[in-house]
Structure 1
Amino acid sequence: MLLKEEIEEYRKFGERIVREAGKILLEHKKNFKIEKRKKDFFDIATDADREVEEYLITKIKKQYPHHSTLAEESGLNYQPSDFQWIIDPLDGTKEYIRNSPYYGTILALEFQKKPIFGLFYQPEINNTAITAKGLGTIYNGSKYQVSNEKTLLKSFINIRVPDTRLDNTVLTSYMDVLNKIIRKSYRVRSETWDIQALVFVSIGDLEGFAIPIVTDKFGPRWHDVVAGFLMVEEAGGKVTDIYGHPITNQDLSKGIVASNKRIHNQLLNLVEPLRLKGYNTDRQ
């Protein structure tokens, strides 16, 4: 069991190094270089991704040499420790290279495989969402709670729009669920990043968020969402898979449903056809 004072120390340290990392992103935006392409033409990494990741890992290793790190570009640096830092150096790389201001860095810390700290910082627009276990969720300096709305028909729901990375059968099932959510909620939105949607749930701008199918080719990775999961929970919300079970062991294979808790079961009922068809029993 960690003391609040210990968690607060990690929070302050994490916020400090991410703000410094933001300066690297701003400087590189003037003359970034694409260093590698991944699975598709627009799935890329820049020198800014690499330098921010290296900076954060260096700072973490200096301060906490026995902690593990799991980073988007370099992967796992394992240490026999209860602590693991999760790093996404540049979330929104596609926006970054197109000169959009909507990108940022995500940092989280897990203790015994459960998140205790999370942060999403957008340096160009100076937006900061930060959370820590037992300390609540703070957005741009103010503490927030999830929405009080109890009715799905009055709710704003964010759902990731599917694409051709899903095969035709799975895509059809996904669209069936999307159609149900459109018809049963007040409005459906689709934010650019999953972390931003989770932030919006945590501060009450959205009532719910769903990615009912996650595969190896489609959907977020742990570094994209774990900080947001803690933000939602610390603001009074709920995060589960499509079966209503807690998401554990960095396993997103059974989809994601996050909400203000009050409409959670209503959202789960809409993804029931996917449960009956057996999707998300394994990453596809």
Structure 2
Amino acid sequence: MALAIQAPAKLNRFLAVLGRRADGFHELELVTTVLEGVAELTDQLDGEPAARLSLEISGPTGQGLVADETNLVLRAWRQLERVADRPLPARLRLEKHIPHGAGLGGGSSDAAAVLRLGNRLFDLGLEDQALLILASELGSDVPLFLLGGTVLGLDRGERVFPLSPVALEPLLIVHPGLHVSTPAVYRALQEVGYPDPEPLPSLPEGAAPPWRNDLTEAALKVCPELVGVRQALLATGGEPLLCGSGSCWAARYDSVTRRDATAESLRTSHPSWRVWAV
């Protein structure tokens, strides 16, 4: 029996850095929406029982990814084997569409898909809380993909709570073909200075969170080329927001018509950029 699991991208709509912890990590508060239903920003993981464990990677953004034990997909699978206390031999196939190092959570989403797929494929009977614990051990962004929808993340981002759905404005997500190292961005926070620790304000039910990312200046320090992307989006009348630690930008518009016209214009003026309407 083969199973297929969708692994969508995510958008951090609010990201506050509240300080640095004693363990070297940063205290965060995030509001994140999982971009379900955007086919061009969704990876797919297929799996079936086999004689041994293997991973094949394909897809338009799979080039350069290595299917070895450092890959988050196989690390997540080993976590399942540890909990099950037995080998779980399977043939896994990952079709990549989410760009790597873009701030869209592709690797974390893949890891969450692995946990769901392995649990079902081998009938492990792991409940949601057990999967969330495994997810938090794999990475701060992994648990939010198990919840889906709009999620509040606390601590390093790994302590997650579902929020009421909050509609997205007409958006463009732009990937300029750059790769930004998340650890480098967090290190750069010390150079550019920590922002004022302003947590998420109280919001009425269903209200959109502030459009904010406290990692922006640190990311621009690490990758100055991102400034030109932001300027291009501002010139179109969009309101740009860095996606996570970069390198994608999200820009919201006051109408679908303006968003779609901007998408066509950017594809012409910047043919090396990838542009998605959300």
TM-score by length of 2: 0.30
TM-score by length of 1: 0.29
